Amino acid sequence: MNAPTDTAHPALTPAPWATDPYANALRNGHGPLFLRRTDGWLLPLDVERWCADADTADLSALRRCEGPVLDVGCGPGRLVAELAAHGHRALGIDVSEAAVARTLRLGGSALHRSVFDPLPGEGRWGTVLLIDGNIGIGGDPHALLHRAAELLAPGGLLIAETTAQDIDERVLVRLDDGRGGTGAETGTETGAGAGAGAGAGSGAGTAAGGTRSGAATEALFPWARLSTPALLRYARPPHWQPVDQWETGGRPFVSLRLSSTARTTNQSADAANSPPVISSQFPRNTSGESPLADS
Pairing of strands 110-112, 90-94: parallel
CA angle 114, 203, 215 (to 5 degrees): 55
Q: Which CATH number applies to 55-169+220-270: 3.50.50.60, 3.40.50.150, 3.30.428.10, 3.30.1310.10?
A: 3.40.50.150
Helix (H, G, I), strand (E, B) or coil at 251: strand
Report the b/e string of 49-74 with b at 16+ CB within 10 A.
bbbeebeebbbbbbebbbbbbbbbbb
| The pLDDT of residue 172 | 94
Residue 176 carries which DSSP code? E
- Cα separation values, 235 from 126, 168, 169, Å: 18, 13, 16
Q: What is the pLDDT along the chain (295 residues), one digit of tens a residue?
A: 554 544 444 333 434 455 678 899 999 999 999 999 999 999 999 999 999 999 999 999 999 999 999 999 999 999 999 999 999 999 999 999 999 999 999 999 999 999 999 999 999 999 999 999 999 999 999 999 999 999 999 999 999 999 999 999 999 999 999 875 444 333 333 333 333 333 454 444 443 444 343 334 347 899 999 999 999 999 998 999 999 999 999 999 999 999 998 765 545 444 434 444 444 444 333 333 444 444 3
pLDDT value, residue 219: 79
What pLDDT is recorded for position 263?
64
**What is the maximum span of the chain, computed from C-alpha positions, in angstroms?**
54
Residue 4, Cβ density class (10 Å: 0-12 exposed, 13-18 middle, ≥19 buried): middle
User: Which residues pair with residue 42 across a beta bridge?
Assistant: 36, 206
Q: Which amino acid is at 33?
A: L
Cα 37 from chain centre: 19
**pTM across the whole model:** 0.78
Alpha helix (H) residue ranges in 86-170? 97-105, 141-151
Rounded to whole angstroms, the Cα distance separating 186 from 242 reads 44
